[in-house]
């Protein structure tokens, strides 16, 4: 029995403006209909696996829960109050998988195998991936710490490398982990056939990882154990002892364990792997037309070659382009040469420095109850399109500085306005004055679609006082919506 351990942290700044801090690339459908997180789990269907353990940032918890629930694979979701790299994250999963947290989870075996995967990788040949995992299982069961080395196709300078040693079963002893090389060195690695790209995917027993971690980095092991002893259950999530976890060192699994253990082996993987680390990488994995163009959305291209066009809600037309990336979202357009797409992160840095919201949020924002789209705003007004999922409810709340007009477009709303609760149906509206306690719920079986018009002297999303919330957000004022 394998337990998938899904590493779902990260911000994906190189894929801005599609990927943003509060909705990064692993939660987007970049290479198919499923999101990258969902695709990571879907490709495991041919393996005998238990429910996953997913490690994510606290601010992404509702996105992760919704996407996993849609697959019927909710499992255990561990919330990191702050990222501490991969070594601690895997330690948390190993402790949980070994049933070290009383009453939280239980698995069929006391010492399961952990299949550690990143949530933002593309694997085009899933059969080859499954075959590599199956080859690795006997070695992992024998106590080896297995990593999967990507068979290189180019002299890539953006990846770390693994040098293989002597043969060991279906794999090779790891001779050396190597940092990202320069171009000449990478070409030498490619020519030698003895080097693989470091994929960041692993297979090992939970107990073996913890043994090696205690030997080579005991402070990480101790901090993670302490963080789990203070665990609390919150809806679908496991919350760590924050103080204990924040005391944990920030270290990758490669540095903390894999480079130090005597039991590391590498299994070659040739399965169309890509970590989608840039827009040019996304162009590489997408289907292309006869001119080498990859498109999504409503696009018309003329005299255009080797170009990526990603559109959302409107027509994107190009003329006379070559090797260009165009990404059009509701609130931002990014145009770059494919050779320069790594520098997109510099745009994100400027947005952060100027305290603009576009590095962090999309215009359309997902919430645990549904979503909203800020379609217009001015100095004293803001207009939003709100979608409330069937059975969902926004928090019971009040605003000090703004009033709200609600117009139901479709569905039925249950509205609490001060001491009255009543239904508002299609083509009807209601008004929430400043300072009045109110709530909104969808009692129906279809989505509730509404237009909200806010008016007042201050329209910031931190003007909210919550009194009751089924999603555990009472007490937090600085939110992006109720």
Per-residue pLDDT tens for 310-345?
A: 999 899 999 999 999 999 999 999 999 999 999 999
pTM: 0.89
**H/E element, 467:** strand 465-468
* Three-state SS at 38: helix
Q: Give pLDDT, residue 98.
A: 80
Q: Give pLDDT, residue 481.
A: 43
Neighbour tally for 122: CB within 10 Å: 22
Q: Would you say 394 and 386 are in contact if contact means Cβ atoms under 8 Å apart?
A: no
Neighbour tally for 430: CB within 10 Å: 17
Q: Give pLDDT, residue 178.
A: 95
Is residue 108 pLDDT above 60, yes or no?
Answer: no
**H/E element, 456:** strand 448-456
Burial status of residue 184 (CB atoms within 10 A of its CB: 0-12, 13-18, 19 or more): exposed
- Please give the CATH architecture assigned to the domain spanning 2-274: Alpha-Beta Complex (3.90)
Q: How confident is the model at residue 105 (pLDDT cuts 50, 70, 90)?
A: very low
Q: How confident is the model at residue 479 (pLDDT cuts 50, 70, 90)?
A: very low
* Three-state SS at 396: strand
Q: Which residues pair with 334 in a beta bridge?
A: 327
Range list for CATH 3.90.550.10 in the chain: 2-274
For 219, the token pair is 């402070």
Q: Tell me: the pLDDT tens digits for 437-461? A: 999 999 999 999 999 999 999 998 8
Cα 399 to Cα 433: distance, rounded to the nearest angstrom: 9
Q: Which residues pair with 269 in a beta bridge?
A: 150
Q: Would you say 415 and 430 are in contact if contact means Cβ atoms under 8 Å apart?
A: yes
* Three-state SS at 181: coil
Supply the mean pLDDT for the chain.
Answer: 93
The residue-averaged pLDDT of 262-286 equals 95
Percent of the chain scoring above 70 in pLDDT:
96
Cα 68 to Cα 436: distance, rounded to the nearest angstrom: 36
List the one residue out of 444, 321, 248, 378 whose CA is nearest residue 240.
248
Q: Would you say 161 and 197 are in contact if contact means Cβ atoms under 8 Å apart?
A: yes
For 339, the token pair is 């050779």
Angle at 15 between CA 14 and CA 19, to 5 degrees: 120
What CATH number is given for 364-468 in this structure? 2.60.120.10
Categorise residue 276: left if φ over 0, alpha if ψ from -120 to 50, beta otherwise. left
For 292, the token pair is 């080498």
Q: Give pLDDT, residue 470.
A: 87
CA 410 to chain CA centroid, Å, is 31
Q: Would you say 368 and 361 are in contact if contact means Cβ atoms under 8 Å apart?
A: no
Q: How confident is the model at residue 233 (pLDDT cuts 50, 70, 90)?
A: confident
For 359, the token pair is 């590095």
Is residue 429 pLDDT above 90, yes or no?
Answer: yes
Q: Give pLDDT, residue 238.
A: 92
Classify strands 316-319 and 299-302 as parallel, antiparallel or unpaired: parallel
* Three-state SS at 174: strand
Cα 227 to Cα 93: distance, rounded to the nearest angstrom: 12
Q: Tell me: the pLDDT tens digits for 337-393? A: 999 999 999 999 999 999 999 999 999 998 999 999 999 999 999 999 999 999 999
Range list for CATH 2.60.120.10 in the chain: 364-468
Q: How confident is the model at residue 102 (pLDDT cuts 50, 70, 90)?
A: very low
Q: Give pLDDT, residue 480.
A: 41
Q: Higher pLDDT residue, 138 or 11?
A: 138
Cα 121 to Cα 300: distance, rounded to the nearest angstrom: 29
Is residue 230 pLDDT above 80, yes or no?
Answer: no
Q: Where are the beta strands (DSSP E) in 306-444?
A: 308-310, 316-319, 324-328, 333-337, 364-367, 370-377, 381-388, 396-398, 402-410, 412-417, 420-425, 429-432, 438-441
For 225, the token pair is 């154990």
Q: Would you say 202 and 253 are in contact if contact means Cβ atoms under 8 Å apart?
A: yes
Q: Give pLDDT, residue 99.
A: 65
Q: Give pLDDT, residue 474.
A: 64
Q: How confident is the model at residue 104 (pLDDT cuts 50, 70, 90)?
A: very low
**Phi, psi for 359 (deg, rounded to 5):** -75, -20
Q: How confident is the model at residue 101 (pLDDT cuts 50, 70, 90)?
A: very low
Neighbour tally for 8: CB within 10 Å: 28
The residue-averaged pLDDT of 220-243 equals 88
For 96, the token pair is 């949980």
Cα 30 to Cα 78: distance, rounded to the nearest angstrom: 25
Categorise residue 303: left if φ over 0, alpha if ψ from -120 to 50, beta otherwise. left
The residue-averaged pLDDT of 146-151 equals 98
């Amino acid at each position: 029995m394998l337990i998938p351990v899904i590493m779902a942290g990260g911000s994906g700044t190189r894929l801005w403006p599609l990927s943003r801090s509060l909705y990064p690339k692993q939660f987007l459908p970049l290479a198919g209909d499923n999101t990258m997180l969902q695709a990571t789990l879907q490709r495991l269907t041919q393996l005998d696996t238990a429910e996953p353990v997913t490690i994510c940032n606290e601010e992404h918890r509702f996105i992760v829960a919704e996407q996993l629930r849609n697959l019927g694979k909710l499992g255990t979701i561990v919330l990191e109050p702050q990222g501490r790299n991969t070594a601690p994250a895997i330690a948390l999963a190993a402790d949980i998988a070994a049933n070290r947290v009383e009453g939280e989870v239980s698995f069929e075996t006391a010492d399961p195998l952990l299949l550690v995967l990143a949530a933002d990788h593309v694997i085009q040949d899933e059969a080859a991936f499954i075959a590599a995992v199956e080859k690795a299982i006997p070695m992992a069961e024998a106590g080896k710490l297995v990593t999967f080395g990507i068979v290189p196709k180019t002299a890539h300078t953006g990846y770390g490398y693994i040098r293989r040693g002597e043969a060991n079963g279906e794999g090779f002893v790891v001779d050396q982990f190597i940092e990202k090389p320069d171009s000449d060195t990478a070409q030498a690695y490619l020519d030698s056939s003895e080097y693989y790209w470091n994929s960041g995917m692993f297979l090992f027993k939970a107990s073996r990882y913890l043994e090696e971690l205690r030997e080579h980095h005991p402070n990480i092991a101790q901090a993670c154990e302490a963080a789990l002893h203070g665990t609390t259950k919150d809806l679908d999530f496991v919350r760590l002892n924050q103080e204990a976890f924040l005391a944990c060192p920030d270290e990758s699994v490669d540095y903390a364990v894999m480079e130090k253990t005597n039991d590391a082996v590498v299994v070659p993987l040739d399965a169309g792997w890509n970590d989608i680390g840039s827009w040019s990488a996304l162009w590489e994995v997408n289907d292309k037309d006869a001119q080498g163009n990859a498109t999504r959305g409503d696009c018309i291209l003329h005299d255009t070659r080797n170009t990526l066009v990603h559109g959302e809600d409107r027509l994107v037309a190009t003329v006379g382009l070559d090797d260009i990336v165009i990404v059009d979202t509701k609130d931002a357009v990014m145009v770059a040469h494919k050779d320069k797409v790594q520098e997109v992160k510099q745009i994100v840095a400027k947005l952060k420095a100027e305290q603009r919201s576009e590095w962090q949020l999309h215009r359309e924002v997902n919430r645990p109850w549904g979503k909203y789209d800020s379609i217009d705003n001015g100095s004293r007004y803001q207009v939003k399109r709100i979608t409330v999922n069937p059975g969902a409810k926004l928090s019971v709340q009040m605003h000090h500085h703004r009033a709200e007009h609600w117009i139901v477009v479709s569905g039925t709303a249950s509205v609490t306005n001060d001491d009255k609760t009543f239904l508002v149906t299609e083509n009807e509206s209601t008004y929430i004055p400043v300072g009045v306690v109110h709530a909104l719920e969808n009692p129906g079986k279809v989505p509730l679609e509404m237009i909200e018009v806010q008016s007042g002297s201050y329209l910031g999303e931190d003007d909210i006082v919550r009194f009751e919330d089924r999603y555990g957000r009472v007490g937090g004022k600085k939110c992006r919506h109720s």
